[in-house]
Each structure stands twice: as structure tokens, then as C-alpha cells.
Structure 1
Amino acid sequence: MGAPVTAVVGYGPGLGAALARRFAREGHVVGAFARKPVAEAPLIALPCDVTDGASIARAFDALEKKSGPVANLLYNASALVRGPFLQTAPGDFERAWRTAAFGAFTCAQRVLPGMLAAGRGTILFTGATASLRGGANFPAFASAKFALRGLAQSLAREFGPQGVHVAHVVIDGMIGPKREDRIDPDHIAEAYWNLAAQPRSAWTQEIDLRPHGEKF
């Protein structure tokens, strides 16, 4: 049996890179999905536009042809569309939804058949404060993140009994360098790894992560 394959969708210099490093450290083959991926070896750089179903299919085809079926999907893509409701363009609203919800739906639909055939797998979705409560000037972003959380809950209930662990991670705070008011991306990645490694007798379906001084 080859090394487990992990897909990090929404790879970038912050959390995406931290997730890729953490799973690679455990010996996983890691595919780094991004519009313009710049991942270095041993990561596999995969160009992917998560708002485009055909682009998603091509990226997963390339990863699975090279490394085998995906065991872990870490969906980390989002579009931070911010602005007053009356000034929010329909195209921007749709872009936020397609990035957070449509992309997650399409990626999950792509990897689930292989996970079900294996009788195991993990899908982790990156949420935000806006997943739990909408705020002024965030109608597009909050709507998209609410949709992602609903998708995660639905998939967890449908596929958990079939051996696939689905969880939603609420990042309730700013991600950044080692400061008291920021969440270290490496610490977030450690939480993702802990979720992926959980025994199925005690799965977590949702977890909140925030700096110790963050109000909630």
C-alpha cells in the first residue's frame, strides 16, 4: 500500500501551506491545489480554479493518476468579499458562494466514491466566524460560509456511518505570525491533523479555534 494522499484545496502561504507541511511530515503525498500553485517538492502543485467544475476534475485526475485515490480532503478555499449589501454586485456574491460552497461540494463529490470504496476517509472544511453569525458588510462572505457549514453537517450525517469522517473547523480569529491576537497557522494545522487521526469511536464534527483573548 502506498502513502496516503491528501488534497489541500486552497493552498497558499498561510494556512494552506501549514496544512500541507503538517500532513507531509506524516509521510502523506500532498497535492497543493491553487490558481497559481508555487508549492515546492515534495508537494505536488496542481493548478485549480475551485469555481470551475472542469478545472477541479482535471486537478484531481492529475493527482490520482500520479499518486492514487485521495484519503484526506482539506478544503481551505474562500473569497473574502466585503462591502455594504446594496453595493454588493451579484457577480461578487456568486464568486463568494462558488469559492466556498460550490467548490467544496464539487471536490467532496469527486473524492467520496474512492473513500466509500475504501471504507474510510476524512474531509475537513475550513470555516470562519462568519460561518456562525453574519455581520454588517459581509453578506456575500457570510452567506457562503453558512452554506459551507450546512454542507459539512449534511455530509457528516450521510457519510459518517459509512466510515468517512467529515468535520467543519471554525477559525474564529485572524491568522498570522506568532502574536497574542493571532492564530498561528501551524497550530491550526496541528488541530486538523488531530481531527484526521481521531479514532472513529470518538469523532469530532465541528471545532472552534480562536486565540485565548478573542471574545466570543
Structure 2
Amino acid sequence: MTGTTAVIVGAGAGLSAALARKLAERGHDVVLAARDTDKLGKLASETGARTVAMDASDPAAMRSLFVNLQGPLGVAIYNPSARLRGPIIDLDPERVRRAIEVTAYGAFLMGQQAARLMLQNEGDKKGTILFTGASAGVKGFAQSAPFAMGKFAQRGLAQSMARELHPKGIHVAWINIDGGISNAVRAERTDDGSDKMLDPGAIAQAYIGLIDQHRSAWSDELVLRPWVETF
């Protein structure tokens, strides 16, 4: 899949940046899509990536993103999610709708467009579609119903797509990021050297491992958690 286009939807600092760097190092033509692309200038310059400003939950915007890609699509990664906390009796229905649109509906839109392009690729392995999940897609936490609904839906989407598309040569997987991700630009996310938080580069390397998996042993789910995380 090296030399093909790699799309990261919901690009930003941390994991997305680590993914962009590793994909660029492998020779992919990287495309970074995000609602706010002003913050991506340095990363785009470093990786030679093209940036696209878009709302991931907008069908027309998602279609435009993929229709305008240059070269065959080899990798598509969906990172966006929306967290909305509060007692179930107090949650605003419209804000809940929006959270689910970002986390789940946008994932469907990307998966659909990516699959359409990858099915046109030649060869036995036509591409890889990855969805960044969370432990909320396995267990719903108190006062976090919207996030749980979105991540459960996203996980179900990935399972369905994997069963449909694996026999057609497209590898689909959902990654459960079970723990906090370290981020040097956020004080509360800075790791003290104890590796109690997930390192973005280590997560990105696991994604590369999924991309490189032989089709005789494809994973459709992967759980990543720091060594001190309880589960």
C-alpha cells in the first residue's frame, strides 16, 4: 500500500500527527481533513500533506473529499468523536444528535466513500479502513450516554464492514484506545515518563501494523491500553 494516498479524517495534534508522519515516511501521499485546518500548517509542511477543511458529518463534504483525491486510495482513518457528559435526564437532545453525527454518522460516510474507491484498486489487497474507537464502544459509562452510543455504533459499523469487505480485499478494523493519550501541548496530558498514558507514536505504529497485516491473519479489532490501565 506504500505509494498510495492515505486520508486522515479529523486530523489534529497527537495521534493524527503521529499517523501522518509515519504514513508520509512510508511514501504515502497524505491528506489531512479537519474542521479547522489552520492548525495543520506545520504538520502539512513537515509531511508534504494536503489539507481539506470539512465537516465530517456532511455527506456532500465527505464525497467531495474522496472524489478529489489524486492517485489510488490505500488507507483511510477516521478519528473524530464528540463527548457530551451529563445525567441522562438533563442531556439536550439536539446536542446528543450532533455528538452521534460526528462519532458514528461521519464514520459511516467515510467508510462508504473509502470503500467505493478501494474496490476499484487492483490486486488482492485493495486498501485498509481504520476507525479510532474507545472503551466506550465496549462498555457505557455513567453520564456518558452520547459517547457510548456513538462508539458502539462505530464499532458495529466496523464489524459489519469487515464481514462484507474482507472477502473483497479491503481490510477494516476498529481500534479500542482504552486509556488517555499523552499530548505535549496539554499539561494534563503530559506523561511523566512512567508510560501511564498511551504514546501517540506507539499507537500510530500499531495502526501501521494493521495496515501491513497479511490477509491470512487480518484483525478486525485491536485493543490498546497502557500497562497500568485497569480493565
AA of the residue aligned to 1:9 = V
Rounded Cα–Cα distance in structure 2 between residues aligned with 1:83 and 1:43: 38
The aligned residue for residue 125 of structure 1 is 131
Range with bigger deviation, 90-99 or 161-170: 90-99
Single out whichever of 45-54 and 174-183 deviates more from structure 2: 174-183
8 Å CA contact 1:122–1:164 kept in 2: the answer is yes
The alignment yields a C-alpha RMSD, in angstroms, of 1.5
1:60-139 counterparts in 2 under 5 A? 60-62=66-68, 64=69, 67-118=70-121, 119=123, 120-139=126-145
- Partners in 1 of 2:221 and 2:118 — Cα distance? 20
C-alpha displacement at 1:2, in angstroms?
A: 8.9
Moved more, 1-10 or 181-190: 1-10
- Percent of matched pairs sharing the same residue: 44
Deviations along 1:116-173, one digit per CA (max 9) or x if unpaired, are 1215110010000101000111000000000000000000000000100000100000
What is residue 22 of structure 1 aligned with on the other side? Answer: 22
Question: 2: CA distance between counterparts of 1:5 and 1:162?
Answer: 19
Q: Secondary structure at the match of 1:85?
A: coil
TM (norm. structure 2) is 0.88
Structure 1 alignment gaps of length 5 or more? none
Residue type of the alignment partner of 2:169: G
Gaps of 5+ in 2: 183-189
1:47/1:59 contact within 8 Å kept: no
Q: 1:213 and 2:199 equivalent?
A: no
1:83 and 1:193 map into 2 onto residues whose CA distance is 36
Partners of 2:103 and 2:2 lie apart in 1 by 31
In the alignment, which residue of structure 1 is the partner of 2:186? none
By how many angstroms is 1:108 displaced? 1.1
User: What's the TM-score, normalizing by structure 1?
Assistant: 0.94
How far apart in 2 are the matches of 1:166 and 1:178? 31
1:128 and 1:211 mapped to 2: Cα distance?
13
Stretch deviating more after TM superposition (141-150 or 10-19): 10-19
- Residues in 2 aligned to 1:2 and 1:131: alpha-carbon distance in whole angstroms: 30
Q: Is the 8 A contact 1:127 1:170 kept in 2?
A: yes
Paired residue total = 213
Alignment of 1:114-193 (within 5 A): 114-118=117-121, 119=123, 120-176=126-182, 177-179=190-192, 180-193=195-208
Alpha-carbon distance between aligned partners in 1 of 2:75 and 2:2, rounded to the nearest angstrom? 14
Is residue 114–residue 129 contact of structure 2 (8 Å, CA) maintained in 1?
Answer: no
